[in-house]
Structure 1
């Protein structure tokens, strides 16, 4: 408890952040959320009925990163966390979509407003629209449909620049990656004249990465599109360069998003293009709020952001929730849900607002919507923004071993 200026006790507002703390995205998302909490508390907290209340962030490790198909233990941990810590709202949420979907009944039963920022399956929105009990669920990160749309934009740009039309898709065997690959194949490649030479659902290991690349190379694609969050997928990129496979490689490999990956892989990732799911996780000179967030994180924690997904929307979730509490002038869950729906703030990802399924709207103009982005590693270890054009620094460049 804290004292208000009038000497009357004011209750702290407990915000829970249950996620997979062993994952880069989960750990840095909680750091970003804590940074937002500190900023709000430094200004006095959140006002309810004339009194200021400080925010208190409590985390919980659900350990769901490595076991997407075994939701039992993470769900039990989430239930125990809710019962023991009694949060008044939840942020970040389960890492795996498989676990997040299963957790919705639990969150709704406790009438807890939840502003999630990692799990990506579009099935969440379908569940929200199908059943009013799921009205407590919101999401500030992009979903698989938006990810597919950004990759479509990047692939169209590659086709226009180089005339490439043959692609091989490698994706992780988890819900969000499978749905992204499926959307790309059905909605984009088949209709835009691309030839999909193969598509595989995989779990990458150090031992099988080279065999996979050998198999792909025999098909002679011009683009190898990869979609993974598992750390081991990073082995594909140095292997691509070592084999000098004459195809552009890119898409999303989580551990190759941050600046630290250049030194970790001794520069053997030059030419690879990667998706950063939310602006702010990578700053743009053309959007100052993203730069301010990125540099604030570096100053607060003594190191730059490494995750390409999660921290920026987790940070925005805290501010969206705080503003919703202030508008509602209450912590009543029903009033908070109605107030969260009204969210319309210019933040570090761009403009944050929700569509009717309570998913943040993503587009290509940060003045109108939240924005994701694609960058390409340069030969000197810089991350050069290439898409969308509103924040881009230029077009794609082919590695020296990839001919036109």
Structure 2
């Protein structure tokens, strides 16, 4: 999706069409491209998130866990893909800078179905956090094996399988305690904003399932961003519409939607001035938001085999 969106920016510029990216395209390349030529790419806005913020959130959550539990040792496990290698490399660098010791690194082929060797290494390493960056569905197997082996390192990270509402059933409950980012506040119950619970309840009622993760909230909000801009511009003229979008200050599900000078939506920790991410932990069959703190509905729990 990122490749398509990045390439399409030049088409929107050529044909002078306003573009609002509302799902996917989390690469830093997007806003870097706008920054290099703001006049050329003035038609493009990104209302979805950025991996830059998601990594910052991960590092901030690690800092909180370091403070709360005294943890300081990290084992990293990733899918062997270019994106995962690069992203995990950044996490490793930033974690080290903030006082974490990276005691192991596992890189497994996509489609792996036996993670016991890596989990044995993690168990021997003394790690307290098993940081995972993997989107293959087989990571549900990794987490079942983690529970079976009682690895004393809490799993957290960017874990595609654990985002899904069906993850508990897929792991027979062995995915309990996993911490994963859903990227967008509103995917699980929270009182962080007045619009979060109505969105969550209506989504579940309409589709019979809870919002999964990235895109569920942002795509919904994008229609209201466009509606708001058109109404304030009083016109469909593209230049007036661009000017209105740049001044967006819209209360929404995730928080308050605003764009920075590169037309990237602003993430942060104050829902009055930014939109919020969403880190959850699987507890008793449910995804419970635990971070950011302003949106949290529960505290981080530990499995019985991990000593706090």
* TM-score in terms of structure 1 length: 0.70
| Match runs of 1:276-287 below 5 Å | 276-287=182-193
Deviates more, 1:283-292 or 1:205-214: 205-214
Query: What is the match of residue 16 of structure 1?
Result: none
Task: Verify the 8 A CA contact 1:325 1:331 in the aligned structure 2.
Answer: yes
Query: What is the match of residue 391 of structure 1?
Result: 295
Is 1:275 aligned with 2:181?
yes
Q: CA RMSD in A?
A: 2.1
| Match runs of 1:2-401 below 5 Å | 94=1, 97-116=2-21, 117-131=23-37, 132-174=39-81, 177-186=84-93, 188-200=94-106, 202-305=108-211, 307-378=212-283, 380-401=284-305
Helix, strand or coil at the partner of 1:349: coil
Tell me how far 1:256 sits from its aligned partner.
1.5
Cα separation, 1, equivalents of 2:20 and 2:298: 34
Cα separation, 2, equivalents of 1:362 and 1:290: 16
Query: What is the match of residue 30 of structure 1?
Result: none
Q: How many residues align?
A: 306
Cα separation, 2, equivalents of 1:190 and 1:210: 26
Structure 1 residues 152 and 367: alpha-carbon distance in aligned structure 2, compared to 1, 3 A threshold? same
Task: Verify the 8 A CA contact 2:104 2:121 in the aligned structure 1.
Answer: no
Cα separation, 1, equivalents of 2:162 and 2:143: 9
Task: Verify the 8 A CA contact 1:144 1:177 in the aligned structure 2.
Answer: no
Cα separation, 1, equivalents of 2:198 and 2:109: 36
Deviation readout 1:151-207 (Å, 9 max, x if unpaired): 112111111122111112223455654453233223x31222111124455543243
Helix, strand or coil at the partner of 2:34: helix
Tell me how far 1:398 sits from its aligned partner.
1.4
Cα separation, 2, equivalents of 1:136 and 1:210: 49
Cα separation, 1, equivalents of 2:268 and 2:86: 19
Cα separation, 1, equivalents of 2:276 and 2:26: 15
Helix, strand or coil at the partner of 1:141: coil
Cα separation, 1, equivalents of 2:44 and 2:84: 22
Deviation readout 1:133-166 (Å, 9 max, x if unpaired): 2222211222111101111121111111221111
Larger C-alpha radius of gyration, 1 or 2? 1
Query: What is the match of residue 59 of structure 1?
Result: none
Tell me how far 1:363 sits from its aligned partner.
1.0
Structure 1 residues 321 and 401: alpha-carbon distance in aligned structure 2, compared to 1, 3 A threshold? same
Structure 1 residues 201 and 332: alpha-carbon distance in aligned structure 2, compared to 1, 3 A threshold? farther
Cα separation, 1, equivalents of 2:97 and 2:242: 39
Structure 1 residues 219 and 101: alpha-carbon distance in aligned structure 2, compared to 1, 3 A threshold? farther
Structure 1 residues 352 and 205: alpha-carbon distance in aligned structure 2, compared to 1, 3 A threshold? same
Query: What is the match of residue 42 of structure 1?
Result: none
Tell me how far 1:266 sits from its aligned partner.
1.2
Cα separation, 2, equivalents of 1:214 and 1:112: 53
Give ranges in structure 2 of 5+ residues lacking alignment: none
Task: Verify the 8 A CA contact 1:145 1:180 in the aligned structure 2.
Answer: no
**Going by fraction, where is strand more abundant, 1 or 2?**
1
Give ranges in structure 1 of 5+ residues lacking alignment: 1-93
Deviation readout 1:298-326 (Å, 9 max, x if unpaired): 22223322x21111011111110121122
Structure 1 residues 373 and 103: alpha-carbon distance in aligned structure 2, compared to 1, 3 A threshold? same
Task: Verify the 8 A CA contact 1:278 1:313 in the aligned structure 2.
Answer: yes
Deviates more, 1:359-368 or 1:341-350: 359-368
Structure 1 residues 220 and 100: alpha-carbon distance in aligned structure 2, compared to 1, 3 A threshold? farther
Helix, strand or coil at the partner of 2:272: coil
